Amino acid sequence: MAYERFPSWIPLLSVTQALTIYALGALLVGGFGPTAAFLYLLFCVWSEYRVMQMSCRHCCYFGKLCGTGKGIVAPLFTRRGDPSLFLAKAIGWKELIPDFLVFLIPVLAGLINLFFHFRFSTLGLIVLIVILALPGSGFMRTRLICANCRQRELGCPAEKLFGSKKKEGCSC
Ligand code: SF4
């Protein structure tokens, strides 16, 4: 059954996971200096804002506590949109590139760093961010977020991309 309002522990877990990925990412990109780390974090903020502009404003959770926590924050950054536009928008792999880049950029930075200065600490950071970003996100989406998402029941374009059976396609 979908939640009209998610229990707080799920968005709390989701926000903690996202912030941990950003922090690990900043540490890995920081190997190229503080400016690189700052620009990476700016990119992460932009990718969150982009989701609020593209998806959250048209979502049934706008102004409510959704699985990622963005629904309750979105009214601070954008105005309510049109729910029919949530269903109408097309989500392809191109639209998901910024989400993938959030963890691919630090992994790439870490691998380059490893090549020139091998350190187990850098290797550890890479393994951690990959676990959090791949199986970690997969678990959050399939078991906790999309599985209980009212918007998915109403219709979610990302589900078409990932295939309904999987319940992990999410445009947010
Ligand atoms: S469910 Fe997704 S699209 Fe809807 S408000 Fe939450 S983050 Fe945004």
Per-residue pLDDT, 15 = 97
Whole-angstrom distance, CA of residue 44 vs CA of residue 14: 15
Per-residue pLDDT for 87 more than 90? no
Helix (H) and strand (E) counts in the chain: 9, 0
Cα(90) to ligand 1 centroid in Å equals: 16
Q: What is the number of the ligand 1 atom nearest to the C-alpha of 59?
A: 4
CA 56 to centroid of ligand 1, rounded, Å = 5
In angstroms, the CA 10 to CA 4 distance is 13
Q: Which residues contact 5 (CB under 8 A, 6 or more apart)?
A: 64, 65
pLDDT band at 90 (very low <50, low <70, confident <90, very high): confident
161 pLDDT band, cuts 50/70/90, is low
pLDDT band for 160, please (50, 70, 90 cuts): low
- 69 within ligand 1 shell (Cβ under 6 A): no
- Is there an atom of ligand 1 within 6 Å of 66 CB? yes
- Which atom of ligand 1 sits closest to the CA of residue 51? 8
Question: How much is the pLDDT for 30?
Answer: 96
Residue whose CA lies nearest to ligand 1 atom number 1:
66
What is the CA angle 125-112-135, rounded to 5? Answer: 40
- Whole-number pLDDT of residue 159: 73
Q: What is the pLDDT of residues 104-158, one digit of tens each?
A: 999 999 999 999 999 999 999 999 999 999 999 999 998 999 999 999 998 887 7
Question: Whole-number mean pLDDT of the chain?
Answer: 90
Decide: 58 in ligand 1 pocket, CB within 6 A: no
Q: Give the pTM.
A: 0.89
Percent of the chain residues past pLDDT 70, beyond the cut: 92
Looking from the CA of residue 61, the nearest atom of ligand 1 is 5
Q: Is the CB of 71 under 6 A from ligand 1?
A: yes
End-to-end CA distance of the chain: 20
Q: CA 132 → CA 102, 126, 141, 150, distances in Å?
A: 12, 10, 12, 25
Per residue in 62-80, pLDDT tens? 999 999 999 999 999 999 9
Q: Decide: 59 in ligand 1 pocket, CB within 6 A.
A: yes
pLDDT band at 168 (very low <50, low <70, confident <90, very high): very low
Confidence bin at 172 (pLDDT 50/70/90):
low
In the predicted structure, residue 166 carries a pLDDT above the cut 70: no
- % of the chain with per-residue pLDDT over 90: 76
CB of 55 within 6 A of ligand 1: the answer is yes
Average pLDDT over residues 31-41: 97
